[in-house]
Every structure is written in C-alpha cells, then in structure tokens.
Amino acid sequence: MESIIEQLINGLRSGSIYALIALGYTMVYGIAKMINFAHGDIIMVGAYSLYVFIARLKMPVVPAVIFTILVCAIIGVVIEKVAYKPLRKAPPLAVLITAIGVSYLLQNLAQLIFTANPITFKSIINLKAVKIAGITIPGITLVTLVVTFICMAALTLFINKTKAGSAMRAVSEDKAAAQLMGINVNRTISMTFAIGSALAAVAGIIFICQFQSVEPTLGALPGIKAFVAAVLGGIGSVPGAMLGGLLLGVIESVSKAYISTQLADAIVFGVLVIVLLVKPSGLLGKNSIEKV
Amino acid sequence: MGKEIAKKTGSILNGKNLIKLAVIVIIYILLMLVMEGDFATRHFKSLLVPVGINIILAVSLNITTGFLGELSLGHAGFMAIGAYSGSLFTIFAQDHTGLPGPLAFIIGIIIGGIMAALLGVVIGIPVLRLRGDYLAIVTLAFGEIVRSVINFLGFTGGARGLSGIPRYTNYKWVYALVVITLIVLANLVRSRYGRVISSIRDNSIAAESIGIKVSNYKIMAFVIAAFFAGVAGVLFGHNLSVLKPTNFDYNKSIEILVIVVLGGMGSIRGSVISAIILTLLPEFLRDASEYRMLLYALALIIIMLFNSSEIRQKLEDSGKLPKLPKFPTLKARIK
C-alpha cells in the first residue's frame, strides 16, 4: 500500500516537470498556432546554463538560477524572432520543419561546445527526505511540487488577472480582432515565448537536480513527453497542459513500477493514441470547426 | 494532361519508356564497372548500398509528406518493422528450411514490406480523424512505440540487438529494388490515384465535396509509403547483419525528412538526388563530420525561410524557379 502511494508521489514529481514544459508548448500553440519543437531543447539550454553559472563561474545559487531563467527566456524570444516570425504566413508544415531544424541546431551547438559526453553536476537542492505515516518523500520531490504549484498559480493569475494576460487570451482567440483593439500582436507573441521558455528553464533546473548530469540530448525525451502531455490535455488549454502533465507522470511511474521499464514509453504513447481516437482534440481541448 | 492519358492507353513500348529502359541498363553497367573494377576504393563501394536504401526511404516518405501533405515523423518505425520481420524470417529460413538464399531473401523482403504496410493501416485509422500537427505527433508516437516494443520483446534480441542475419544485400539487389520503387511510385504519382492524393493535399474539403473518400486515400498513401520503408528496412538489416532498436530512433526519421525537404517536397527526382548527395557528402567530408548535423539543421531552417521569403516569390514570378506546392489545407487551420 505504502509503495503504491510512493509510486504515485514519484509520478506526481515527474508529472509536474512535464506539466511545466507542457505549459510552454500549449501557450505557444494557443497563440502562434504552431508546435515549437525546439521547446524541449530549452530545458537542455537551462541545464547547461546553470552548470556554467555555478560550476564554471562559481556564482551563488540564487543569482545563478535567475540568470539561467533569463538566458532561456532570451533564447526563446530570439528563436521566435529569427526562425518563426518570418514564417507567420507560411503553411504549418514549413513551420514545423523549421522548428525541428532549430531543435537540432540547439542540440548540436551544445554538443560542439560541451562535447557529447555527459557532465556530472551536483544538485543545488539539498533537502532531507520527510517521513509521513511510513511514507518517505524525498526532499527534491517536495521542492519540485512546491515550485510547480507556485509557477502554475502565478501563471493562472497572470493570464486571468493582468492586462498582458488578457492580451494573450485575445490574441489566441482572434489575432486580427486583437490587433484592431490596439494590441501589439508581435510583442504578445514574444512575451508568450519568453514565459514559456522561462518555465522550461525552471523545469530544466529541477530536472538536473534530480539526475545530476547534463548532456546535449537531455531535453529531447522529456520534451516529446511534455508535448504528448500537452496534446493529451488538449493543446492550447492551460489547465489541460497541467492535467495532461500530471496524468502522464503518474501513468509512466506506475507502469514502470508494475509492468515494465522498457514498455513504459510505449504505454505513455499508446495512451495518447487512444485518447486522440476518442477525443481528437484532447481531454480539455475545444473542437475547432474547419472553414473553407 | 489529356495527351498523357491518351499516350498511356497506347503501347507500353513507346519512345519515352525505351529511353528510360536504356538509362536503367546503362546505369547498371556503370555500377558493375565501378563495383567489379578497381576504379573506386572499398570504402566508396560500401557506400552504394546505403545510398540506395536512403533513396527508397526518401522517395517513399515523399509520398506521405510531399504528395499527401502530412508530416510523418515515424518513418523509421516502418523501417524497423520491415527490418525485424524480414530478418527474423531469413534467419529462420536459413536455420530450419532448405530454402535457397535468394528465394528466402525475396520472401523476406515481401514479408518486411507487408508487415510495415499492416502497421501503416494501424496508423491509418487514427489518421482518419486527425490532421496536420496532431498527425505528426501520432506518427512520432507510433515510431517510439515500435522501438520500445522491439526493445522489450525477447525474440528480437531486445537492446542487445538481433545478430546473425545473413548478408544477402548487395548493390545488385539494392539497384533492382530502387528501380522497382521508382517505377512504381513515379507511376502512382502520375496516375489517377496520385492526382487524388495531391488534391487532398491542396484542398481536402474541396476533394471531399466532389465525392473523394479522403480517409481511404490517406490510408492508401500511408500503406504504400510504409511498404517501401519496410522493404528498405529489410535491405538495411541484411546489409549490416546486426539490428539494434537504436538504429530506428526519432533521429533516423528526421534524417530521412531532411533528405526529402532538401530534395524538394513533392519531387521524386529531387529526393533521389538529395539522397545521393546527403549520403555521400558526409563521407567525403570526414573532417567536417562533427559539423554534419549542425549543417543539416541550418540547411533545414534556411531552406524553409527562403521558401517563404519574398526573394523566392520574385524568382517564381519571373519563372526562374518552379512553383512550390502550396499546402493550403493545413493553412486553413489558421484563422
């Protein structure tokens, strides 16, 4: 019984990392109607930045974390300006292929700079495990859950309560109408990329604190899984991304523990296919009507 | 178009086809001279088989991505199914039956193709309901499912790999299969079915409104592309003699996609040329191999940016470059 609960808590931890990354996918999709395939690699950029700031430049933890988030946000905005903005009117297939190109570019740049070998890097989160009623919860799990909860609450408040947030909602609803109302669409899109990348940076920091090693391809698999989470929850929907991420983490952790480690990925992707067959727009997604 | 149809109803042995036959024979003789003679190094000779395999993969992916207009990110998955099922058969045939090698290989190729085509049907069913970006994800998911199931199963050798596959593949087999693939797919594209597939890419709603069963044709395109990817997989397995699940990961699918995009989506000739260049070039630029993937990535981005730039538009208008297929079905998703 206790082990099931521990597995569920483990699932919530990896699920909340997926949810943080999925938020970036879903916000960008909602606003720019594109899949930012390079989003997963922003996690890797975040992980390497933290490594450089702490291990190479010997910075204290708090400024290093802040700088890491800034670096990722800036890179996210630069990618949007250089690679995606000229393609606003291009067909989605072209944008998707460009995004795949950007993802490859980031991975290979990292490989050229830091080589393909993994670098070990000690966790910056040192919290003792907590024991409640016979269940041990590792410190990193507690930190992950708290940080994710804060990020999600802040994002929800930002989107629903601030002026910039309602601009984002307006642009995702109807770009042309938003422009007519005096909203700067380009600036809103940049802001979305910045927020999404900043959340990916947070995910990246938590991720390497857990695995304690960095390598150029570390963002690829969590990136794809987070994307699956976003689609599962209904891409374009912020609560959907949170739900999808948590669900995916729990399914993965339970199937790893009780079915097979190798089959866990197949099960995760299988769940996605089944959900899409039953609800083509995801769990919380809206059905879009195709116009001629 | 009318003329072409009239010509097709005539004899197969018209002037155009005779020239094509002559070209096929001449290229074969040239290949023989290169392979049997001392003109080329052993290293170069060993590259001809991968070139051929990549041609088959790229041309078949072009059917889904270039002609149907759906991005498939799981082409390596089809290839894996073909490679494993074909190789398992030839290993079995070698150990337990007295089938002569070439016959076993032919049956293995057919089995590989059919197994991949069956997976194509399985993917085709969700394709019925999804379009655009979602489809890319479902294909990606299927590719990963195939890889992790192969990793899990015992009889595929799991992560250690499947070894002891007889080395049947040589340049003659590959050449024959490349020629067959090109003839079948080029004729498919020019046939009624091919035009239906392209019409779905150009405007699926309009296609549906004139009574075309869009989903059936989508499945058809998927199945055909999958079949040839499976065949390429069988050739791949019998060339290396060892198969590992990591041969068929997401990166492999992207590599094939890069070939298709660089050659031009919707152009069979382009896929062939770019498969040859992209397979040979990194081998000649050994020193630059570190930068190979970086260059691939940059090439993808630059080509996409160029294709939707004003410069391209001007060159198209002045007739210096051919017009690109426009993919408006997908465009319709953006309001």
CA distance B222 to B124: 7
Quote the mean pLDDT of chain A.
Answer: 88
Contact map slice: A 198-237 vs B, CB within 8 A: 220, 224, 227-228, 231, 235
Percent share of chain A, pLDDT over 70: 97
Helices marked H in A80-233: 92-114, 139-161, 163-173, 175-180, 185-211, 220-233
Residue B27 pLDDT:
86
Q: Would you call A98 an interface residue with chain B, using a CB distance cutoff of 8 Å?
A: yes
Chain A residues with beta carbon closer than 8 angstroms to that of B149: 263, 266
Asked whether B193 and B212 are in contact (CB, 8 A), the reply is: no
Q: In this model, does residue A87 exceed pLDDT 70?
A: yes
Compute CA distances A244 → A31, A42, A199, A253, A256, whole Å: 19, 20, 16, 14, 18
Instruction: Please tell me which of the candidates A97, A220, A273 has its beta carbon nearest to residue B126.
Output: A273
Residue B11 pLDDT:
65
Asked whether B53 and B174 are in contact (CB, 8 A), the reply is: yes
pLDDT tens digits along B207-245 = 888 888 888 898 999 999 999 999 999 999 999 888 998
B282-291 average pLDDT score: 72
* DSSP code at position A84: I
Q: In this model, does residue A196 exceed pLDDT 60?
A: yes
Asked whether A144 and A16 are in contact (CB, 8 A), the reply is: yes
Residue B108 pLDDT:
92
pTM: 0.84
Q: In this model, does residue B252 exceed pLDDT 80?
A: yes
Single-letter code of the amino acid located at B189? V
Residue B333 pLDDT:
37
Residue A273 pLDDT:
84
Q: How confident is the model at residue B1 (pLDDT cuts 50, 70, 90)?
A: very low
> Which has more confidence, B116 or B287?
B116
Instruction: Please tell me which of the candidates A90, A105, A276 has its beta carbon nearest to residue B308.
Output: A90
pLDDT tens digits along B21-74 = 888 888 888 888 887 777 777 777 788 899 999 999 999 999 999 898 888 888
Note whether A96 contacts B301, CB cutoff 8 Å: no
Q: In this model, does residue A245 exceed pLDDT 80?
A: yes
Residue B131 pLDDT:
63
Question: Treating both helix axes as pointing N-terminal to C-terminal, what angle do B214-240 and B42-62 enclose, rounded to 10 degrees?
Answer: 170
pLDDT tens digits along A109-161 = 999 999 888 998 887 877 777 787 777 788 888 899 999 999 999 999 999 99
Q: How confident is the model at residue B2 (pLDDT cuts 50, 70, 90)?
A: very low
A204-227 average pLDDT score: 89
Q: Would you call A289 an interface residue with chain B, using a CB distance cutoff of 8 Å?
A: no
Write down the residue that tokens 């890319």 correspond to.
B136
Percent share of chain B, pLDDT over 70: 88
CA distance B286 to A21: 37
A174-183 average pLDDT score: 90
Tell me which of A86-95, B32-41, B271-280 is least confident.
B32-41
Q: How far is CA B96 from the centre of its chain?
A: 32
Instruction: Please tell me which of the candidates B142, B294, B327 has its beta carbon nearest to residue A108.
Output: B294
> Which has more confidence, A192 or B17?
A192
Quote the mean pLDDT of chain B.
Answer: 83
Q: How confident is the model at residue A290 (pLDDT cuts 50, 70, 90)?
A: low
Tell which of B73, B152, B208, B323 to mutate to test the A interface (max A CBs under 10 Å).
Answer: B152
Q: How confident is the model at residue A288 (pLDDT cuts 50, 70, 90)?
A: low
Question: Which two three-digit tokens encode residue B330?
Answer: 């997908």
- Chain A nearest C-alpha distance from B13 (Å): 40
The ipTM is 0.81
CA distance A237 to A241: 6
Q: Would you call A87 an interface residue with chain B, using a CB distance cutoff of 8 Å?
A: yes
Nearest to A19 by CA among A252, A245, A248, A233: A245
Residue A123 pLDDT:
78
What sign for the dihedral angle of Cα A125, A131, A136, A142? negative
A279-289 average pLDDT score: 73
> Which has more confidence, B113 or B16?
B113
Q: In this model, does residue B6 exceed pLDDT 60?
A: no
Q: How confident is the model at residue B334 (pLDDT cuts 50, 70, 90)?
A: very low
Asked whether A237 and A23 are in contact (CB, 8 A), the reply is: no
Residue A150 pLDDT:
94
Note whether A94 contacts B326, CB cutoff 8 Å: no
Compute CA distances A265 → A185, A260, B286, whole Å: 38, 10, 35
Nearest to A218 by CA among A147, A125, A118: A118
Residue A292 pLDDT:
47
Note whether A104 contacts B133, CB cutoff 8 Å: no
- Chain A nearest C-alpha distance from B141 (Å): 5
Asked whether B313 and B88 are in contact (CB, 8 A), the reply is: no
Q: In this model, does residue B177 exceed pLDDT 80?
A: yes
Residue B9 pLDDT:
53
